[in-house]
């Protein structure tokens, strides 16, 4: 049996389903390229038949990703499989992942079919997918609650039909490691053709056992693990990629297994996904949490100072966390910034040095000293600058106090025009937002969520504001970063406005095409 564990990442499919607002195509591509750099074997890019937007995103990801296999999900229906095949046809290598439920509760209550019918649908789906690619994965949804006799029959049938990977999901996170490991062991003992396919597992974390169940499956012969960055996903989330990767790396002697994951890219990828998905990582999260390599106890501190491995079973550097801060000030030159970014793992092709340096100087003038996390935040937001900036912030002035009415004056560049508007509100942020809304007459846009986060340490840390707005039945997510909270909030709102403007332009073009066709 192979000692290679295939890492199947479903951040862009199962992970995105749990987000309060959908990712833009640009954001999905950025995550896909980060996953490729991380060393993920299979990237499940989406569910093409679910919407035109998802179809387009999967297609664009399939165009740009080269070293990872791009995968699309489909139900066991011909139209779903066709959508996958069409979206992925531009890829150098791709996989179609089709599924159907197999547990009694799903078969009788949801599908309302007989077990015979479900087997026939599964076999037909695999054969149809083989018409597009030889790389076909089949999933037995809710396998954790499926009777073992029926599960064995289903696995044998889809392998005979041509499935090269068969996935055994614990869809509702119900099983325990001993139970789930036993299911995998049973399949290897009872399914005669099981050597002709890779057995995969997809575990959910409803009882906090997703990683434990996945490892139990691996110990019993599974060779593909389906997971997400930071463990995001439906309900309590999925098996965490970074935890699986570091268990295999740290306990190599126990498992005797390996993956292609470049562990030094873990922290970087985790931060990117957290930022874009607007899902902060809890401080005590294993591997990537803020406290993962912190020591508060005096005994622990003393031990680590004497020998790092007394209380650290892995180093921060092994997952890409650089503990050493380089003092950067407004006196630092471009070559220092370039050198520091290189040490942090960024290539010159990842950023525009002049743009980053201008942002750096402005921040250094405000803060005095700039740290590594500041530099990475500037890089991230420079990459997020929109190519379709119809709205741009020219100037902002806001006042507030204990006995005065908060007010704000905002000047925006809108296309080729510059417009200024003043307003009052419950606070300076509210006043600034009111000024912008009055300026644009945006009655259809409603702010549904506003989150403030500190990017850095101390009173002079960068402020990140995340805004979710509802507009014409859709939700848009915007992020702003500045040392000033009001400015950060305004930038986040402008980010949203540019997205809504682009959406309106696309809708208008579609309408014109529709009218021309009539």
Sheet holding 391-401, edge to edge: 391-401, 404-414, 417-424
DSSP per-residue letters across 374-404: HHHHHHHHHHT--TT--EEEEEEEEEEETTE
Task: Give every CB contact of residue 112 below 8 A, 6+ residues apart in sequence.
Answer: none
- Give me the phi and psi of 193, to 5 degrees please: -105, 20
C-alpha 413 chain-centroid distance: 32
Region class of 153: left (phi > 0), else alpha (psi between -120 and 50), else beta? alpha
Across 219-234, average pLDDT: 97
Tokens of 246: 């570091």
Q: Give the sign of the dihedral formed by CA 274, CA 279, CA 282, CA 283.
A: positive
Angle at 274 between CA 273 and CA 280, to 5 degrees: 165
Q: Strands 42-46, 391-401: parallel, antiparallel or unpaired by DSSP?
A: unpaired
C-alpha to C-alpha distance for 35 and 262, rounded to whole angstroms: 10
Tokens of 314: 């892995």
> pLDDT tens across 91-137, in order?
989 999 999 999 988 888 887 888 899 999 999 999 999 999 999 99
β partners of residue 407? 399, 424
CB 281 within 8 A of CB 231: no
Given a cut of 60, whether residue 385 has pLDDT beyond it is: no
DSSP alpha helix (H) spans, 65-134: 78-88, 104-105, 115-129
CB 448 within 8 A of CB 391: no
Across 468-489, average pLDDT: 88
Tokens of 308: 């790092």
- Give me the phi and psi of 244, to 5 degrees please: -60, -45
Given a cut of 80, whether residue 142 has pLDDT beyond it is: yes
Q: What is the average pLDDT value for the chain, to the nearest integer?
A: 88
DSSP per-residue letters across 188-207: HHH-TTGGGSEEEEEEB-TT
Q: Give the sign of the dihedral formed by CA 282, CA 287, CA 292, CA 293.
A: negative
Confidence of residue 339 (pLDDT cuts 50, 70, 90): confident
CA atoms within 13 A on the CB side of 391: 22
Across 205-214, average pLDDT: 98
β partners of residue 397? 409
Confidence of residue 325 (pLDDT cuts 50, 70, 90): very low
Counting residues of the chain whose pLDDT is more than 90, the rounded percentage is: 60
Tokens of 306: 């004497």
What's the pLDDT score for residue 326? 46
Count other C-beta atoms under 10 Å from residue 254's C-beta. Answer: 11
C-alpha to C-alpha distance for 216 and 214, rounded to whole angstroms: 5
Tokens of 363: 């921040």
> pLDDT tens across 264-310, in order?
999 999 999 998 898 989 989 999 988 887 643 444 444 544 555 66
Place of tokens 């682009």: 502
Angle at 388 between CA 387 and CA 393, to 5 degrees: 100
Given a cut of 50, whether residue 44 has pLDDT beyond it is: yes
C-alpha to C-alpha distance for 252 and 83, rounded to whole angstroms: 40
C-alpha to C-alpha distance for 432 and 428, rounded to whole angstroms: 6
C-alpha to C-alpha distance for 394 and 413, rounded to whole angstroms: 6
State which H helix or E strand residue 65 sits in: none
Least confident segment among 106-115, 257-266, 334-343, 484-493? 334-343
Region class of 257: left (phi > 0), else alpha (psi between -120 and 50), else beta? beta
Confidence of residue 379 (pLDDT cuts 50, 70, 90): confident
> pLDDT tens across 174-189, in order?
999 999 999 999 999 9
C-alpha to C-alpha distance for 44 and 48, rounded to whole angstroms: 11
The one-character DSSP state at 100 is: E
Tokens of 67: 């070293």
C-alpha to C-alpha distance for 499 and 199, rounded to whole angstroms: 41
CB 115 within 8 A of CB 150: yes
> pLDDT tens across 107-116, in order?
888 878 888 9
Tokens of 488: 């950060």
Count other C-beta atoms under 10 Å from residue 113's C-beta. Answer: 15
Distance set, CA 483 to CA 114, 433, 454, 462, 490 (Å): 61, 18, 9, 5, 12
Q: Maximum Cα–Cα distance for the chain, whole Å?
A: 80
CB 202 within 8 A of CB 176: no
Q: Find the helix packing angle between 25-38 and 266-277, rounded to 10°.
A: 170
Least confident segment among 232-241, 273-282, 355-364, 508-517? 508-517
> pLDDT tens across 54-67, in order?
999 999 999 999 99
Task: Give every CB contact of residue 282 below 8 A, 6+ residues apart in sequence.
Answer: 289
Q: Strands 445-455, 462-471: parallel, antiparallel or unpaired by DSSP?
A: antiparallel
């Amino acid at each position: 049996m192979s000692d290679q564990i295939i890492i199947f990442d479903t951040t862009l499919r199962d992970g995105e389903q749990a987000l309060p607002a959908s990712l833009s195509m640009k954001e999905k591509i950025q995550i896909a390229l980060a996953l490729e750099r991380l060393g993920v074997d299979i990237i499940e890019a989406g569910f093409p038949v679910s919407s035109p937007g998802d179809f387009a995103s999967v297609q664009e990801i399939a165009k740009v990703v080269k070293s990872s296999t791009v995968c699309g999900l489909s139900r066991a229906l011909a139209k779903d499989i066709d959508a996958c095949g069409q979206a992925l046809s531009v890829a150098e290598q791709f996989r179609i992942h089709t599924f159907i439920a197999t547990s009694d509760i799903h078969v009788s209550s949801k599908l309302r079919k007989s077990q015979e019918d479900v087997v026939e649908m599964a076999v037909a789906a695999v054969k149809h997918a083989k018409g597009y690619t030889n790389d076909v994965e089949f999933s037995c949804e809710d396998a954790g609650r499926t009777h073992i006799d029926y599960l064995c029959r289903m696995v044998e049938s889809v392998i005979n039909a041509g499935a090269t990977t068969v996935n055994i999901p614990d869809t509702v996170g119900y099983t325990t490691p001993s139970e789930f490991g036993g299911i995998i062991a049973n399949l290897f003992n009872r399914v005669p053709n099981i050597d002709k396919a890779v057995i995969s597992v997809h575990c959910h974390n409803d009882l906090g056992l997703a990683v434990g169940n996945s490892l139990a499956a691996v110990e019993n012969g599974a060779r593909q693990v389906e997971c997400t960055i930071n463990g995001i996903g439906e309900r309590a989330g999925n098996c965490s990629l970074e935890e699986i990767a570091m268990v295999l790396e740290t306990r190599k002697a126990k498992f005797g297994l390996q993956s292609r994951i470049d562990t030094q890219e873990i922290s970087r990828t985790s931060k990117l996904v957290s930022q874009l998905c607007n899902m902060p990582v809890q401080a005590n999260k294993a591997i990537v949490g803020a406290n993962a390599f912190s020591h508060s106890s005096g005994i622990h501190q003393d031990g680590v100072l004497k020998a790092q491995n007394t209380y650290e079973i892995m180093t921060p550097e092994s997952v890409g966390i650089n503990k050493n801060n380089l003092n950067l000030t407004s006196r630092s030159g471009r070559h220092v910034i370039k050198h520091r970014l290189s040490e942090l793992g960024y290539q010159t092709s990842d950023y525009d040095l002049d743009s980053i340096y201008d942002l750096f100087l402005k921040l250094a003038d405000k803060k005095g000293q700039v740290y590594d996390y500041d530099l990475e935040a500037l890089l991230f937001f420079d990459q997020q600058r929109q190519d379709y900036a119809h709205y741009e912030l020219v100037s902002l002035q806001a006042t507030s106090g204990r006995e005065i009415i908060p007010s704000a004056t905002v000047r925006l560049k809108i296309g080729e025009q510059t417009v200024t508007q003043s307003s009052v509100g419950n606070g300076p942020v509210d006043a600034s937002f009111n000024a912008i809304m009055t300026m644009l007459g945006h009655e259809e846009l409603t702010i549904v969520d506003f989150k403030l986060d500190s990017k850095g340490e101390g009173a002079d840390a960068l402020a990140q504001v995340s805004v979710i707005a509802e507009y014409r039945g859709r939700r848009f997510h915007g992020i702003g970063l500045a040392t000033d909270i009001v400015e950060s909030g305004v930038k986040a709102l402008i980010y949203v406005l540019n997205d809504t403007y682009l959406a309106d332009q696309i809708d208008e073009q579609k309408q014109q095409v529709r009218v021309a066709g009539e």
